[in-house]
Amino acid sequence: MIKITEHPLNPDDITSTVFSNEAGAVNVFIGTVRATTQDKKVVRLEFETYLNMAIKEIEKIIEAMKNKWPVHHVVVHHRIGTLTVGEIAVVIAVSSPHRKEAFAACQYAIDTLKETVPIWKKEIFEDGEVWVSAHP
């Protein structure tokens, strides 16, 4: 259900685990490494995590989703380590009886993950590097 790994993520494997005969809707969010940030060319990203706490915070997100919406299954996989342009950093898949709550729950999951889960990314450019969002 939750995985934080240095290995490449496979959206299809993740998505296939949320299907359910009682769910009519599946929504999947995939976050990838963009080639440019604020007009600067990205060479690679480096992700690190505070693993135990990150798992706990993702568990809280999933619990909140299940309280807010009638979701059947939720899977959250996040990659850490070094990623190059185009690689997948995060996959979130949600199944629910109807589409509206699948979209809402999946969007809640990625929005909240970006606020609370202790994972950090450093963008490495050709001429320097920056911890994303660290400064105002």
Partner 1 sequence: MEVEILAFGITRDIVEGNTFRISLNEGTSVATLKELLYQTYPRMKQLRSLRVAVNNEYVDEEVVLSGKEEIALIPPVSGG
128 binds, among partner 1, its own copies, none (CB under 5 to 8 A by kind): none
Provide, rounded to whole angstroms, the least separation between the CB of residue 74 and its own copies. Answer: 15
Cα dihedral across residues 15, 18, 21, 26: positive or negative: negative
Residue 116 within binding range of partner 1, rule CB under 8 A = yes
Residue 132 within binding range of its own copies, rule CB under 8 A = no
| Strands 128-131 and 81-84, sheet pairing | unpaired
Question: Taking a C-beta distance cutoff of 8 angstroms, is the pair 43, 87 a contact?
Answer: no
Residue 17 within binding range of partner 1, rule CB under 8 A = no
Distant-in-sequence, close-in-space partners of 21: CB < 8 Å, separation ≥ 6 = none
Name the site residues for partner 1 (rule: CB under 8 A).
Answer: 31, 47-50, 52-54, 56, 78, 89-90, 99, 110, 113-122, 131-136
